[in-house]
Structure formats: structure tokens, C-alpha cells
Amino acid sequence: MSSSKGVACAEGAAFSMVLTWPPGRILVAWDQGGVYAVRFLAPGEGAEMSGASEPPGGGLGPRIRDALARFQESGDWSGVAELPRKQSAASEFTSGVWAQISRIPCGSRQSYGEIAQALGRPGASRAVGRACGANPIPILVPCHRVVAADGGLGGFSGGLHWKRWLLEREA
């Protein structure tokens, strides 16, 4: 289930949709440059978007909805991986973390320490965790694939129930 709503912004038209998945609801926001935000909503949040319409001509909305629906239904990551992304400004380290996370294959996991090591910053696993928490487009930049060194889930911006569900979906 989803709905979308056009939102005016200084750089042009921006749009968003709310999707309802088994662990909860997410808000996905995009403009002509790509998806720039994915947010996990609290119960009842986003209800005002119900019944809103698509932008004229559809734009990215149908593509986003289809890709995320395929992932939700079958774990098929291919459409999500191909969605255009508009990453926000971040430090060189944080951008490097997001790029490294984006290379983790669907169904795989890497530890916070392995990400730090790959970036030439051994011992920066906590900083990797903070970069994951600052990720404005979780699911698209799949920080749910980053786990603790002992195999535990670690943390996740949407809560551990979301992380567990996303990992199970990809298995």
C-alpha cells in the first residue's frame, strides 16, 4: 500500500510516498535527481499523505514503487539497486562508508570493523556506525547489511525489527 504527494522545494518539484510494509511504514522522498530520503515512520505518522496523487507524467514514482514492491514481496533487490540516488553532502569518511556499504551484495553482511578496515581506518568501527546512522537513504544504501563483529545485529536507524526484517527478506 502506498500514497504519494507532491511537495514544493526551492530546487523544483519534490515528491514523496508512504509505503506500508510488515515491520511498519516508510517515507520515500525524491526529485528529478533521484531518491534523497528514506525515513522510518512512527505508528500513525504520515497518515496525512493518504489519497494524494502522483506527479504529472509519473516521473520516478512508479519506478520507485515497483522496485520497492518487488523487494517487499520477493526479496528481489535488482530494481532497488538501480534506483537513482541523490546522496546528501557528507564528510569524506562518511561518503566512503556509504560507498563501501553500497558494494555489499544483497544477502551478504559485513561488520562495522570490516568496513573501517576496507577504508584504511582500522579501529574506526564506531565511526562507521555513526555514518550508518547518518545515512539519509537507508534501504537504498543498505546499512542494514552492516553488523557487529560477533554477528549480532548492532544498531539501525529504523530499529532492530526493521533490520531483522530486511536481512530476512534478502536471505
The phi and psi torsions of 2 (rounded to 5 degrees) equal -155, 160
How far is it, in rounded angstroms, from Cα 108 to Cα 83? Answer: 20
Amino acid at the residue 94: T
How far is it, in rounded angstroms, from Cα 29 to Cα 69? Answer: 16
Amino acid at the residue 160: L
* Catalytic annotation present for 143: yes
How far is it, in rounded angstroms, from Cα 135 to Cα 143? Answer: 8
Closest among 96, 97, 91, 104 to 128, alpha carbons compared: 97
**Residues identified as active-site:** 143
